[in-house]
Structure 1
Amino acid sequence: MAEEDQTVLVRCADLARIEVPVSLAQRAARVAAALEAGERVVELPRGVSGKGLATAAAYYEARAEAEAWGVDGAEFDGEFVQGLTHDAAIDLIYAAHHLGDQALFNLFVGYKANHF
């Protein structure tokens, strides 16, 4: 089975479970480390909700698709962040932190907090 066809199951403390393609999940340091250790299920700490994890997975998939169509990454990121509610943004920030995905976390660096 090709790596892009493989998935990793990521579970949150609120018992939410989301399967994410390995090729996308490896962006997250915590997931990449688990995969290197041979794990196919990654447990996340209490700070990550299922909603935050779902938003992160949606971002990974949408960004990969946008890049495949030649969309500018920075433009995509700006539109993605603008489309988030305040609560979704907070959930995504927690998820990015606990996943160890600095690029995902940096979507919010320098972004006006009053936007939400």
Structure 2
Amino acid sequence: MPKAWQRLLVLQMLNSLQFIDALSSDSDSDIHEDKILLDMITSQRYINPCRRYPSHYRYTMNDLQTLSSKKFKQLCRTTHESFEKLAAKIKADKTFQNSSQNKQCNPAIQLAVALSRL
């Protein structure tokens, strides 16, 4: 995906070309068509379409539950029991309820990721 400064350069070049074309064009319809095209380009945030990448979770709940106590504590900085209690308390919170087309990860996995990054 082009960087923001690349998009800005493209838009500046298009504006310059439109100005030059307007000076040399005999037809008002050509200028109008060019203006419409330029407006379409500038109204879009991205020049190229967004690429979607598949989500890959490093750990699943099964992986977390099968970790030894020592490895789990090293990863999540808490015991299995404390983790389960905390996960149960937060799973009903509306922060973890998502109505968009992008499905949200299990709150317990999100908790594990957050704890491992602290």
Q: What is the TM-score with the length of structure 2 in the denominator?
A: 0.26
Q: What is the TM-score with the length of structure 1 in the denominator?
A: 0.27
Greater relative contact order (Cα < 8 A, sep 6+): 1
Please say which structure displays the higher CA radius of gyration.
Answer: 2
Higher helix content, 1 or 2 = 2
